[in-house]
Structure 1
Amino acid sequence: MKKTQNQLPLLLLAIAMPLVIQSCRQQQGEESREIEKEVVVAPEKPEYFLLRPEVEKAYGYSHAVKIGNSIKISGAVSMDDAGNPTAIGDLEQQMKNCYADLEKILTHYGCTFDDVVVENIFTTHMPLFLEKSVYRNEIYTKHFPTGSWIGVKELALPELMIEIELEVHKAE
């Protein structure tokens, strides 16, 4: 009787082991099937955009770069196609000129200001900008992006009073 009692746990173990091993194999098979379902995404190649090619090449920058659904737009300033400052001394008009250039870039990528997620504004005259910032309500009609307003001593050219850079997320 004792011999049978000692053999009983071994018998139960012998019966249970194949079930445990089979269960592990099934679980590994399920994990393998899940891994097979993973999608590999190839890295996106950057797409560069030049708004004023001559000016941007002379200063050494691209006005915008799109990678995947993200678009980074360099700071827009108030200038003509030759790179000369415009609306000198008129911060509000310079701001409007910046937004007009930014809209051209957004349109190139099939976006609007509704797609902007970050807007950073640099100005040499913060009190005047705060007075004129209400104009942004005409630009952002649905919601405002995140961002910063930064007072600076100077911009690239002494006549420039404002520069606006954007980050955009293009929805699929």
Structure 2
Amino acid sequence: MTRRSIDVDKPFQKALPFAQGVVVEGELLFTSGITARDENGEVVGVGDLERQFEQCFGNIADIFEAAGTNFDHLVKVIMYTTDIRQCYEFPNAWRQYFGARPASTLVEVSALAHPDMMLEIEAVARIP
């Protein structure tokens, strides 16, 4: 994949698990907002943001596989959470999926589509 991370030369940004910008060639997959629902539509990890994070990314992995891509080709992620402070409590989980250092946005919102949801994620990946 032709891919180039764009980072302004500021030391603190080198330690972050995401790039400020990503340049890619080819077809792109854009997901809808993906939540922590299981195959039966039930919300997984009620009250547990890290578990919802894992479920969301598991659901995204399924979409990526169906489209013929994977997290190595992740170029952008937007995460909406009802508790932004909790997101910083599990940075290793982020790195598991952000190995390619995608461009990233994290936004705190007052509510999501279901009262038990704490996280919704949109992803953009290149189709190799």
Give the TM-score, by structure 1 length. 0.57
* 1:112 maps to 2:70: yes
- 1:167 partner SS: strand
Cα distance in structure 2, aligned partners of 1:156 and 1:97: 16
CA 1:150–1:92: 2 relative to 1, 3 Å = same
Unaligned regions of 5+ residues in structure 1, if any?
1-67
Residue in structure 1 matching 2:37, options 76, 79, 93:
79
* 1:136 maps to 2:85: no
* 1:167 maps to 2:124: yes
Cα distance in structure 1, aligned partners of 2:103 and 2:49: 22
Residue in structure 1 matching 2:112, options 147, 155, 172:
155
Q: Which runs of 4+ in 1 moved over 6 A?
A: none
**Residue type at the aligned position of 1:111:** T
Superposition pairs of residues 1-172 of structure 1, within 5 angstroms: 69-141=27-99, 143-171=100-128
- 1:131 partner SS: coil
Number of equivalenced pairs: 103
Greater length-normalized contact order (CA 8 Å, ≥ 6 residues apart): 2
What is the root-mean-square deviation in Å for CA atoms of aligned residues?
Answer: 1.4
Deviation per residue, 1:94-137 (Å, 9 max, x gap): 00000111001111111111111110010000000111233111
Return the structure number with greater helix share. 1
Deviation at 1:80, TM superposition (A): 2.1
Give the TM-score, by structure 2 length. 0.75
User: If you compute each CA radius of gyration, which structure gives the higher value, 1 or 2?
Assistant: 1
| Identity over aligned pairs, percent | 27
**Residue type at the aligned position of 2:60:** L
CA 1:164–1:118: 2 relative to 1, 3 Å = same
Unaligned regions of 5+ residues in structure 2, if any?
1-25
Return the structure number with greater strand share. 2
